[in-house]
Amino acid sequence: MTKKTNTRTKILDVAENAVLEKGFEATSIDEIVAGAQISRSGFFYHFKDKNELARAMLERYIDAENTLYDELFSRAAELNDDPLHSMLIGLKMLAEMLADMPDGHPGCVIAATAYQDRLFDKGVQDLNREAILGWRKRFRSMFEKIADVYEPRDDVNLDALGDMVSSVVEGGLVLQRALRENNAASEQIMLLRSYLKLLFSPKS
């Protein structure tokens, strides 16, 4: 890793923490450069303005989340061949991961950005949208494989069901933040798991 990517990463780390704590607008460049131990102009060497920082943060977050889902559900698929059971294992692992974070998951950059989107240019907003559409597609295709084996016990829109994973994660993290209860998000994911278990359980 070059020196360049080192400093850049440090800026992004510091900025992400600050933005999750108090929002993008309320996070000053002064504060970021203090945390990253560079000068104000050092920041502008790496990012041409604050909007470009937002885009970079969001891109990095989305990549990390995608990598996490890839690893988690391919690991789950190794543990069980059945599409339903490997999905349930994956969600359990996701819930445990969230619960294991001592001070709770830092929260989701998506939600923080969504509620301040007018501050950003269209590129940042589209990034956000494309990420969620990507997760819809990912989970929808998993649910289709499950539905091929287990006929759903209720008539559901598979796109909406794909979105439900993102929705439950986002909603759970908002709750966790507002309640200051570190297991809120993890419990909501376990309820989503319970729903899928019932929805795809074989008819008796």
Partner DNA sequence: TGTACATCAGTGAACGCGCGTTCACTGATGTAC
Residues that bind DNA (CB under 7 A): 2-4, 6-7, 27-31, 38-46, 48-51
190 binds, among DNA, a second copy, none (CB under 5 to 8 A by kind): a second copy
* Triad 195, 154, 78: Cα angle to 5°: 50
Nearest CA to 46 out of 29, 59, 58 is that of 29
Q: Which of residues 19-78 bind a second copy (CB under 8 A)?
A: 20-26
Q: Which does 40 bind (CB under 5 to 8 A by kind): DNA, a second copy, none?
A: DNA
The count of C-alpha atoms lying within 13 angstroms of the C-alpha of 90, restricted to the half-sphere facing its C-beta, is 24
- What tokens were used for 189? 């994911």
Least distance between a second copy and beta carbon 2 (Å): 33
CB of 128 to a second copy, least distance (A): 5
115 binds a second copy (CB under 8 A): yes
Q: Judged by CB, which is closer to a second copy: 4, or 22? A: 22
Please report which residue ranges of the chain form alpha helices under DSSP H. Answer: 3-22, 29-36, 40-46, 50-79, 83-100, 109-114, 122-149, 158-179, 184-199
Establish if 161 lies at the interface with a second copy (CB under 8 A): yes
Cβ neighbour number for residue 67 with a 10 Å cutoff: 10
Of 8, 14, 81, the closest CA to residue 47 belongs to 8
**CB 44 → DNA: shortest distance, Å?**
4
Please pick, from the candidates 72, 99, 147, 199, the single residue that binds a second copy as defined by CB under 8 A.
199
How many Å is the maximal CA-CA distance in the chain?
A: 68
Q: Which region among 8-16, 77-85, 96-104, 175-183 touches a second copy (by CB under 8 A)?
A: 175-183
Residue 169: partners with Cβ closer than 8 Å, 6 or more residues away = 108, 185, 188, 189
Residues that bind a second copy (CB under 8 A): 20-26, 107, 110-119, 125, 128-129, 132-133, 153-154, 156-157, 160-161, 163-164, 166-172, 174-175, 177-180, 184, 187-188, 190-191, 194-195, 197-199, 204
